[in-house]
Amino acid sequence: MSARTILVLNSKGGCGKTTIATNLAAYYAQQGRAVCLADFDPQRSSLQWLEARSPDRPKIEGAAAFDGGFRLPRTADVVIMDAPAAIHGADLTALVRRAQTILIPVLPSATDMRAAARCVHALLTVGKVARHQTRLATIANRVPPGSTIQGAVETVLNSVHLPYQSVQSQIYRPLERFLARLRIPFVATLNDSPSYALADAQGLGVYELRDSRSVWDWVPWRPLVDWLDSRRSLPRAV
């Protein structure tokens, strides 16, 4: 059977591509899957994360894919691909060709949201995406923890017909509407948390830290990994 291929991509820098790629790689390795982490960024952030990882932890195979000539390893069950920032044109098309699923992290700012919309537009010009042979999803990243509580308040108040919009809703709503028209889901909202820097320094995922804060930080990953395990994240059969 061929490997499950997941690409983390956004041409905007610093939105969390490497963080999401490394955390997913660590999660799948913990689940006993044979994971390949392919770093397409010459900055090598994913590979540096892997170099910091203890050999006692579940193994992840690294690949310096930015050198060109990357081939999907036959032995891998899951291939996580970390894209560089500012990717477009032929490079974007070549990268997209390899992926069943593309995850687009988006930071909660108007600038980042506009950049995400541009990135989605660019992706839709790639034939494979337009033909639904690759599935897209967005992830809200680095959302202040207070917004999560406000989100819960919003749900409760709206359920008793008291209209209220949390800050998070106000920020993400325009992008949500745009994505809804294109039927692209928002699959997770990840907290802004110091756990990510802590895990990053040790070559770990927050899933592996197992302290009380990181257990809490892992909670919003559940809908993401459930979506990735479902058929909804897979391309339409051709």
Residues that bind ligand ATP (CB under 6 A): 13-19, 41, 45, 85, 141-142, 190, 192-193, 196-197, 200
Beta-carbon-side half-sphere exposure of residue 116 (alpha carbons within 13 Å): 31
The yes or no reply on residue 10 touching Mg ion (CB under 5 A) is: no
- 116 in Cβ contact with 171 (< 8 Å): no
Binding-site partner at residue 203 among ligand ATP, Mg ion, none, CB < 5 to 8 Å by type: none
Binding-site partner at residue 49 among Mg ion, ligand ATP, none, CB < 5 to 8 Å by type: none
Cα distance between residue 185 and residue 171, in whole Å:
16
Cα distance between residue 204 and residue 217, in whole Å:
14
Q: How many CB atoms lie within 10 A of CB 6?
A: 22
3-state helix, strand, coil in the chain (%, to 5): 45, 15, 35
The CB-of-45 to Mg ion minimum distance in angstroms stands at: 4
The yes or no reply on residue 138 touching Mg ion (CB under 5 A) is: no
Touching Mg ion, residues 31-90 (CB under 5 A): 45
The CB-of-73 to ligand ATP minimum distance in angstroms stands at: 22
What residue number has its CB nearest to Mg ion?
Answer: 18
Q: How many CB atoms lie within 10 A of CB 72?
A: 14
Within the chain, where are the H helices?
17-30, 45-51, 89-96, 110-124, 127-130, 145-159, 167-181, 195-201, 206-209, 212-218, 221-229
Cα distance between residue 168 and residue 150, in whole Å:
8
The CB-of-143 to ligand ATP minimum distance in angstroms stands at: 8
The CB-of-229 to ligand ATP minimum distance in angstroms stands at: 22
Binding-site partner at residue 176 among Mg ion, ligand ATP, none, CB < 5 to 8 Å by type: none
Binding-site partner at residue 16 among ligand ATP, Mg ion, none, CB < 5 to 8 Å by type: ligand ATP
- Closer to Mg ion by Cβ: residue 86 or 238: 86
Residues in contact with Mg ion by the rule CB under 5 A:
17-18, 45
